[in-house]
Amino acid sequence: MSDIWYQQTLQLRQRPRGFHLITDEITTQLDRLSDIKTGLAHILILHTSAGLTINENADPTVREDFETYFTRTVPEDSSLYQHTLEGPDDMTSHIKASLMGSSVIIPISNGRFALGTWQGIYLCEHRNRGGSRSVIITLNGTSG
């Protein structure tokens, strides 16, 4: 057995505003995940207007309901905020990203993310046109 520390930056494809499953996009691009028998993955999104979370991976209406909730909770009303240089979704995107969080930690077992049966990693895109997003993933664990 040997210890592994590995870090990789991945580019996620551009998505519209909303909550999107990205588990497969990450695992297909991520090198060395299969080398780890027992460990942890730390995934950090490198943006202040998008977030990450883990939730339901089967029913897409869950992701739609997340978007509905956050749109109602943090309305795009420019009169409420000072930071609106990039449009009405500017400050609201920062608030939503802070509420969701910018990282997740996932156990690794036998070269795979140890997620529950109905769990997946979400990209929480809060901008109307956010562009592609980058994540940095740090893997740590044992091989063999």
Pick the CATH number of 3-142 from 1.20.1440.80, 3.90.1150.10, 2.60.120.460, 3.90.320.10: 2.60.120.460
pLDDT at 78 over 90: no
pLDDT one-digit tens code per residue, 41-58:
999 999 999 999 999 999
Question: Binning pLDDT at 50, 70 and 90, where does residue 39 land?
Answer: very high
What pLDDT score was predicted for residue 1? Answer: 78
**pTM reported for the whole predicted model:** 0.96
Domain boundaries, the chain: 3-142
pLDDT at position 27: 98
What are the Cα distances from residue 123, in Å, to 2, 77, 78, 140? Answer: 32, 24, 25, 22
3-state SS, 37-101, equals CEEEEEEEECCCCEEEEEEECCCHHHHHHHHHHHHHHCCCCHHHCCCCCCCCCHHHHHHHHHHHC
Could you give the C-alpha distances from 1 to 5, 30, 33, in angstroms and in order?
Answer: 13, 21, 15
pLDDT (0 to 100) of residue 36: 97
| Each residue's pLDDT tens digit, 87-120 | 999 999 999 999 999 999 999 999 999 999 999 9
Give the residue from 76, 87, 70 showing the smallest Cα distance to 124: 70
| pLDDT score at 135 | 98
- Check pLDDT > 80 for residue 144: no
Q: For the segment 3-15, what is each residue's pLDDT rounded down to a tens digit?
A: 999 999 999 999 9
Is 8 within 8 Å of 134 (Cβ atoms)?
no
What per-residue confidence (pLDDT) applies to 111?
A: 97
d(CA 142, CA 66): 36
